[in-house]
Chain A
């Protein structure tokens, strides 16, 4: 897949709407305003994403992985530095939650947060591109960026990357969202974006 500038721009706009939904969900969880940066949509290789996250000091990350299938098959990954994971969990359950119980439920809480955020984005994209997705159960993984991104595909294949920064007044949480698409799905996505652009004229 090699999207042109207009297609990438359209995709950024579509994701922008999805990210807005995710922001709304996060702010409802946090009970305060959440600012999300405009999403940066790029086609990057796994190596480039790894380098980018490493530059941001996120050598060890926590990732929530969820598959979505339909006209387009994609694996969505929400990644953030591992030291922010507890803050995200506290967002969900509240600061008063007993610490012992919190660490017990950390993985499950992260899976649910990932489920909410990834579904917010994917649902919005699905509606705007007129496609339907079925989601798998979210899984939480901890490790180096390269380990989490490593699949059977080549590290140099281009994948769709969407970077967003979460900013919450009381906390600073940065997240990175990646969509892994197979070749057939990339072609279909290109067609759907073209159709979306065609519907605008």
Chain B
């Protein structure tokens, strides 16, 4: 079965850019999308993604709140917090939620960082 990545971002442009970069780095991956944290929380139990890129600042619940909810039922999925909010407190929150912090903008380098984390042994 193909590895499945869930992209969570309210910005259509960001989703498009992440999808484009992933297609170059991991052309075999299946990619699905959610435009909010709430949508992601509802989608995860059904779609069972292997990996998630999670934006933080979105309408409705924040990315951190979404990860907290996802972690209640899924400890397995590997999550990258992908955000422009680079405050130390954001990095600490990501650590606390057993997620990797990757700084926006979406570039080949930042996506490579995410992919390396996804593929590293847990």
Report the minimal beta-carbon distance from A192 to chain B, rounded to whole angstroms. Answer: 15
Q: What are the interface flags for A18-38 relative to B under an 8 Å C-beta threshold, 1 for contact and 0 otherwise?
A: 000100010011000000000
B3-61 CB contacts (< 8 Å) to partner A: 10-14, 16-17, 57-59
Q: A116 an interface residue at 8 Å Cβ cutoff? A: yes
**In the complex, chain A residues whose CB is within 8 Å of the CB of B104:** 25, 115-116
Q: Name the interface size band of chain B.
A: 20 to 34
Provide the bound-state CA to CA distance between A127 and B91, in Å: 12
> Which residue from chain A places its CB closest to the CB of B62 in the assembled complex?
A134
Q: A111 an interface residue at 8 Å Cβ cutoff? A: yes
Q: Given known contacts A25-B105, A28-B107, A92-B105, is B13 in contact with A119 (CB within 8 Å)?
A: no
Q: Given known contacts A28-B110, A29-B107, is B84 in contact with A115 (CB within 8 Å)?
A: yes
B83-105 CB contacts (< 8 Å) to partner A: 83-90, 103-105
Q: B109 an interface residue at 8 Å Cβ cutoff? A: yes
Provide the bound-state CA to CA distance between A119 and B85, in Å: 5
**In the complex, chain A residues whose CB is within 8 Å of the CB of B12:** 105, 108
Q: A112 an interface residue at 8 Å Cβ cutoff? A: yes
Q: How many residues of A contact B (CB 8 A)?
A: 24
Contact present for B86 and A28 (CB under 8 Å)? no
Contact present for B57 and A135 (CB under 8 Å)? yes
Q: Given known contacts A112-B13, A137-B10, is B89 in contact with A119 (CB within 8 Å)?
A: no
Q: A174 an interface residue at 8 Å Cβ cutoff? A: no
20 contacts between A and B (CB under 8 A): A21-B86, A28-B105, A28-B107, A28-B110, A29-B107, A92-B105, A108-B12, A109-B13, A112-B13, A116-B84, A116-B105, A119-B57, A119-B83, A123-B84, A123-B85, A123-B90, A126-B87, A132-B87, A135-B57, A137-B59
Chain B contact residues, CB within 8 Å of chain A: 10-14, 16-17, 57-59, 83-90, 103-105, 107, 109-110
Q: Shortest 4 CB-CB distances between A and B: which pairs?
A: A119-B84, A123-B87, A116-B84, A123-B86
20 more contacts with CB within 8 A, not counting A119-B83, A124-B86, A135-B85, are: A25-B103, A29-B105, A92-B13, A93-B16, A108-B13, A112-B13, A112-B14, A115-B11, A115-B84, A116-B84, A116-B105, A119-B57, A119-B85, A123-B87, A127-B87, A135-B57, A136-B57, A137-B10, A137-B57, A137-B59
